[in-house]
Amino acid sequence: MTALHTWAGVVLGALLFVIFWMGSLSVFDREIDRWMMPMTRLAAPAPAGLPSLDANLRPVAERLAAGAPQWTIRLPSARAPAMELRYPDGAGGTVRRHVEAASGRLLADAGSAGASGFFFPFHFRLHLKWLDIGYWLVGLAGMAMLVLLVSGVIIHRRVFSDFFTFRPERALPRATLDLHNLSGVLALPFHAVVTLSGLVIFFAVYFPAAWQSAYAEVGAGARETFNREAFGSWRRPPAGVAAPLASLDAMLAAAEAEWQGGRPYFVRVWHPGDAAAYVEVRRSIADDITMNLDTVYFDGTTGAVLHRHEAQPVMRVQRFIAGLHFIQFEHGILRGLYFLAGLSGCLMIATGLLFWLEARRARHARHGLGGVRLVEGLTVGSSVGLIAATLAFLVANRLLPLALPGRALLEMQIFFVAWALAFGHAGWRADRAWREQAWAIAVLAALAALLNGVTTGDHLPATLAAGRWEVAGVDGVLVLTTFLAGCAARRPGRRTAPAEAGALAAEVGRG
């Protein structure tokens, strides 16, 4: 069991850290969006009533998305007060624009994918779309995480005492193991739930036999039928005849009545300007754990209801589990706890890899083995290097000119270049890379907070005084990161003698 725990962690620990880190950031993706897109830092919308889509957004959509096969509106919320318009750009991509809900004023192009467009999909598909390889790698890491959790509990039988044991004054391997145990035990229920729920969310990818066997008799249309009955996907082709679009406001009012007061948050117009146009309206998930699938489809020219969908019992369970994982509902305290628990997962993974390194460093050097050097390079690059690359992404967001063509793509390229440099630096500088990259994190975090104040005027004291908590929160975390990274870079780590490290490793093996 010890060998299983060790090698599952060593082989997939770096990937697990990336997934946990991006998942932690995604808890506050909308708030980070507002930090990265200053033009969307608007006042929260009024709790009662919806903005008029016919007056405030439809003219903008029909002008910008003229000729597009569909366009989408995300209605304003407390976390994202600007209305968001999306439509295909004709080259396989998507254009994303924001509109002030109260006035219909088109805001400047954000020129950024933001956290919701970069960190969030990174968490579950790693931005690897070919053959769904990103989903499969994340699924493999999720299975490994379950193995690590179960085997870890079996190995560390003294779970209760581990919870109260932390000796930071001891040598690096002992202190690291204590921190690994503490972070693992402290958030063990969260780690188990978030890992298992992540696998359940994408059951259609990981376990396709589940729906393929149920819809085998349908034949070639099995996937389409499954999507319609499970997720409410409903489609009809365009007629090729021009016709005006009916009132979107009336459709939203009808949807609210259908849901007995439930508020819509998502509107998609299919085949706009066509006689067969239809409008998809989804119910808000802001006040419920369950990511419901309640959807009403309206005829685009008459406003008549074409199709209603509400999840059946099995899918209600799946959507509740999805809601537990993605935490898209508006509950600031709970989101903060998720964020801290996610970071504890990052800490658990990193300290586990650190302990493996320190317990084997002397023996590998004595026998001329290169395993420690390889794992150390991967660990540094995937942990502190990833954090440094994330901060480089934020710094680039504040430095690049807003009108720069391809700005959003350039931000992402800077992230990956910075991350690649972190891996290269880790391989070159070996164990010194930890401290040097910690200094890089401290500098980049301070620079990001400073640049936000310089480029937007929304420095930390001003946002705190004005109650703009989403911007103040991001800046506050950046300032805290500067302090913690500086402390870590300055702290001298005392290594153990080879005999002591070997004895500690043997102790772990005995449980």
- pLDDT of residue 503 exceeding 60: no
The pLDDT score that the predictor gives to residue 167 is 60
Q: Quick check: is 414 in a domain?
A: yes
Position 482 in a domain = yes
Residue 375 in any domain: the answer is yes
In 376-421, the DSSP E strands lie at none
Phi, psi of 246 (to 5 degrees): -75, 180
Look up the domain containing 412 and give its range.
2-36+126-201+327-510
Mean pLDDT score of the chain, rounded to an integer?
89
Whether 229 is covered by a domain: the verdict is no
Looking at the DSSP bridge assignments, the partners of residue 266 are: 74, 282
- Mean pLDDT confidence for 421-445: 92
Angstrom CA distances, 235 to 61, 72, 90, 385, stand at 21, 15, 20, 45
Answer yes or no: is pLDDT of 95 > 90. Answer: yes
- Structural domain tally of the chain? 1
Model confidence, pTM: 0.91
467 and 416 in contact (C-beta within 8 Å)?
A: no
Q: Is the pLDDT confidence value at 510 over 90? A: no
Model confidence at 496, pLDDT cuts 50, 70, 90, reads very low
Residue 244 placed within a domain: no
Helix (H) or strand (E) holding 69: none
And the tokens for 274?
């066509």
Answer yes or no: is 461 within a domain.
Answer: yes
280 neighbors 295 (Cβ within 8 angstroms): yes
Distance CA 176, CA 159 (A): 16
Give tens-digit pLDDT for 215-271.
Answer: 888 877 888 899 999 999 999 999 999 999 999 999 999 999 999 988 999 999 999
Q: Which residues of 464-475 are buried (b: 16+ CB within 10 A; e: fewer)?
A: eeeebebbbbbb
pLDDT for the residue numbered 436: 94
Mean pLDDT calculated for residue range 312-323? 93
The predicted structure's pLDDT at residue 478: 97
Residue 497: per-residue pLDDT? 47
Tell whether 270 is covered by a domain: no
Strands 278-283 and 264-270: antiparallel
Report d(CA 311, CA 292) in Å as an integer.
7
| Residue 253 domain-assigned (yes or no) | no
Task: Encode pLDDT of 131-170 as tens digits.
Answer: 899 999 999 999 999 999 988 888 776 666 655 565 655 5
CA 190, CA 468: separation in Å to the nearest integer? 30
Checking if the pLDDT of 191 tops 60, the result is yes
